[in-house]
């Protein structure tokens, strides 16, 4: 599997990270080095093996489906880059 | 009293309880040491005011006779732990200015026991790195030096924690370990670091990297201190559904040094190509020390070992790409300046390009790729199946009666800062070759300083234990520590 600049551009877009056009070939080359390294996983016989979901066999605990937290909008907004009137502010999303 | 900064946690605890010293004196001495060590760049955010208040409260508590082990003990806290009202930015520009409105469970428990926070410690950005060089604060510097005087890495990602403990800038520090980030820096600095069983310490309030692998643990001067600190950090937390609801024993009380009859496995797959002769020799010496202490040595096989690093470099980036999606410039941290007409997509893309360093960007994108349509089965599911086989290897040797496994901690001693600048990313990843299996299998592992190499730099050995048996593992480590008699300290040059 070899990654070209088009794939690198697509992955950067999916990850929502701006990568300038001239940086794409180097990025693709780095991906190829890393993917070349992980390619060796394909030689392992995994017949009948389930993908691991959690490393410790455990049943997740359950609790009552009730509100346990909330009513602290000031704390929630305290670190926002732009908060107005009790809301997070972002650039216009809908025309 | 002189030498306050060199006390162990156990030594300071006993002196505090006897009233020979006060936490205020101890904290003052350490604050002064921290201020004199800016060259090491171990502390990213100093908190002398917080420390002074906590020390005063601890002294009152000590007088009243209600003093847990850590009461009045000054610690450093890795920047990955959210500490209420104190900058916590995972050494990333994207969390510039972030001051959590809540406290991580681990630090809550440390403070409950009276611990004093000296500051937040440097680390690799989002704990992604093995040399502390991906930090937005610049690299922390190892207090150890060879004769050539070159600045060395303290390892990573918990490099600031390791440097601070080694240079006597705190009595102990918190670390986190996703692929070796406690054990490798401990080995590079002649300190002790344990990653407990996955689920032993709550992950609540620890900035997430790879949630199925991340665990917190202590970094200390010796095994006894690791036992004391780990007990305080451990325990069930309803805020982390993967934290285990099982009792936390008094690990320190389990340190007898008696390991007669214990079976120690020596895995043949850990003899990797190109390993320096002195690492092999150290490993052999460590094996002999445990045998002399009465342990039974057994050669074992962990056949899927060579696939651990590639599996890790699928699973960890995949989880990171998901965890780090939250850094979008909306709720906290950095937001890029936008141009006229930029919409929300531009805001995300510019914010993340400015906020994340190159290694973090690389891992997010690798993770995005292995999770993307068409590749999910070939990479991500394949890696999770291989992970199951790696765990099965360990399950089998433990079922056959092995109590602990002895391996090298790292494939070399500390290397120079900048030495890997031109290497490809995979070369840096190889630092974790002996430690990463332990995270994939969720096991406890400890790095114990065991010797010096020909350059006079510390080397460590790793012991891997059965799940939930940190007490037994710490005791084996204690026996190794006693036999190795490692007492070297770096000469102060900073």
- The pLDDT, as a whole number, for residue A1 is 55
The DSSP 8-state label assigned to residue B378 in this structure reads I
Instruction: Provide the residue range defining the domain that includes A35.
Output: 5-42
Confidence at A26, pLDDT banded by 50, 70, 90: very high
Alpha helices by DSSP H, listed for B327-424, are 344-355, 358-371, 382-399
Instruction: Indicate which residue of B88, B158, B181, B243 is catalytic.
Output: B181
Q: How many CA atoms lie within 13 A of B61 on its CB side?
A: 23
Instruction: Indicate which residue of B104, B131, B157, B321 is catalytic.
Output: B157
Distance from chain centroid for Cα B186: 8
A90 within some domain? no
State mean pLDDT over A42-57: 93
Compute the distance between CA of residue B220 and CA of residue B167 in angstroms, rounded to an integer: 11
Residue pair B126/B154 in contact (Cβ under 8 Å)? The answer is no
Q: Is the pLDDT reported for residue A95 higher than 70?
A: no
Of B231, B218, B227, nearest to B76 by C-alpha is B218
A31 within some domain? yes
Q: Which of A19, A51, A54 sits opposite B381 (nearest CB)?
A: A51
- The pLDDT, as a whole number, for residue B426 is 85
Which one of A3, A4, A16 makes the best mutation probe of the B interface by having the most chain B beta carbons within 10 Å?
A: A16
Q: Which of B332, B344, B366 sits opposite A93 (nearest CB)?
A: B344
A55 within some domain? no
Q: In what order do the strands lie in the sheet containing B445-452?
A: B43-46, B116-121, B74-78, B172-177, B215-220, B192-195, B445-452, B458-465, B404-408, B263-267, B296-300
Which stretches in chain B have pLDDT values below 50? none
A15 within some domain? yes
Residue pair B228/B478 in contact (Cβ under 8 Å)? The answer is no
Buried b (16+ CB within 10 A) or exposed e, B466-479: bbbbbbbbbbbbbb
Q: Based on the residue annotation, tell me whether B23 is a catalytic residue of this protein.
A: no
CA distance B84 to chain A (A): 11
Q: Based on the residue annotation, tell me whether B64 is a catalytic residue of this protein.
A: no
Overall domain count for chain A: 1
- The pLDDT, as a whole number, for residue B1 is 54
In order of start, what are the domains of chain B with their CATH numbers?
4-258 (3.90.1300.10)
Residue pair B100/B57 in contact (Cβ under 8 Å)? The answer is no
Of B280, B325, B270, nearest to B303 by C-alpha is B270
Q: Which two tokens stand for residue B421?
A: 């600048």
A20 within some domain? yes
Compute the distance between CA of residue B481 and CA of residue B479 in angstroms, rounded to an integer: 5
State mean pLDDT over A37-43: 95
CA distance A16 to chain B (A): 5
């Amino acid at each position: 599997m070899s990654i070209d600049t088009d794939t690198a551009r697509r992955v950067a877009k999916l990850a929502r990270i701006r990568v300038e056009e001239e940086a794409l070939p180097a990025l693709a080359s780095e991906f190829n080095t890393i993917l070349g390294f992980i390619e060796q996983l394909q030689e392992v016989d995994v017949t009948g093996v389930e993908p691991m979901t959690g490393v410790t066999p455990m049943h997740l605990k359950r609790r009552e489906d009730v509100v346990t937290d909330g009513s602290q909008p000031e704390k929630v907004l305290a670190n926002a880059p732009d908060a107005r009137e009790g809301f997070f502010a972002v650039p216009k999303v809908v025309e | 009293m002189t030498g306050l900064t060199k006390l162990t946690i156990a030594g300071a605890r006993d002196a505090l309880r006897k009233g020979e010293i006060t936490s205020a004196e101890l904290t003052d001495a350490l604050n002064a040491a921290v201020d004199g060590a800016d060259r090491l760049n171990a502390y990213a955010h100093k908190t002398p005011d917080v420390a002074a208040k906590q020390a005063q409260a601890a002294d009152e508590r000590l007088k009243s006779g209600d003093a847990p082990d850590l009461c009045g003990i000054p610690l450093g806290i890795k920047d990955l732990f959210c500490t209420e009202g104190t900058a916590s930015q995972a050494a990333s520009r994207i969390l510039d200015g972030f001051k959590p409105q809540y406290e991580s469970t681990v630090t809550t428990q440390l403070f409950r026991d009276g611990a004093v926070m000296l500051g937040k410690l440097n680390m690799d950005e989002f704990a992604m790195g093995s040399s502390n060089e991906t930090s937005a604060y610049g690299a922390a510097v190892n207090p150890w030096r060879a004769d050539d005087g070159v600045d060395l890495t303290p390892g990573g990602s918990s490099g600031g924690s390791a440097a601070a403990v080694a240079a006597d800038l705190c009595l102990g520090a918190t670390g986190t370990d996703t692929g070796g980030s406690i054990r490798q820096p401990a080995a590079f600095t002649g300190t002790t670091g344990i990653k407990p069983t996955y689920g032993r310490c709550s992950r609540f309030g620890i900035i997430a990297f790879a949630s199925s692998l991340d665990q917190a643990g202590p970094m200390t001067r010796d095994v006894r201190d690791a036992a004391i600190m780990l007990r305080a950090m451990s325990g069930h937390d309803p805020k982390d559904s993967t934290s285990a609801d099982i009792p936390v024993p008094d690990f320190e009380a389990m340190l007898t040094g008696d390991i007669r009859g214990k079976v120690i496995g020596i895995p043949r797959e850990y003899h990797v190509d190109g390993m320096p002769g002195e690492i092999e020799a150290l490993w052999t010496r460590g094996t002999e020390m445990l045998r002399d202490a009465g342990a039974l040595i057994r050669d074992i096989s962990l056949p899927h070992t060579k696939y651990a690093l590639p599996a890790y470099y699928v699973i960890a980036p995949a989880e990171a790409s998901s965890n780090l999606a939250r850094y979008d410039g909306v709720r906290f941290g950095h937001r890029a300046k936008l141009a006229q007409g930029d919409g929300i997509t531009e805001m995300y893309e510019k914010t993340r390009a400015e906020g994340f360093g190159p290694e973090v960007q690389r891992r997010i994108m690798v993770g995005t790729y292995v999770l993307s349509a068409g590749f999910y089965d070939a990479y991500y599911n394949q890696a999770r199946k291989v992970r199951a086989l790696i765990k099965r290897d360990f399950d089998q040797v433990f079922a056959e009666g092995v109590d602990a496994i002895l391996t090298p901690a790292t494939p070399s001693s500390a290397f120079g800062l900048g030495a890997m600048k031109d290497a490809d990313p995979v070369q840096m990843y190889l630092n974790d070759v002996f430690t990463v299996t332990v995270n994939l299998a969720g096991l406890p592992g400890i790095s114990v300083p065991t010797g010096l190499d020909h350059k006079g730099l510390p080397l460590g050995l790793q012991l891997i234990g059965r799940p939930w048996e940190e007490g037994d593992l710490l005791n084996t480590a204690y026996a190794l520590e006693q036999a190795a008699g490692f007492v070297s300290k770096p000469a102060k040059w900073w």
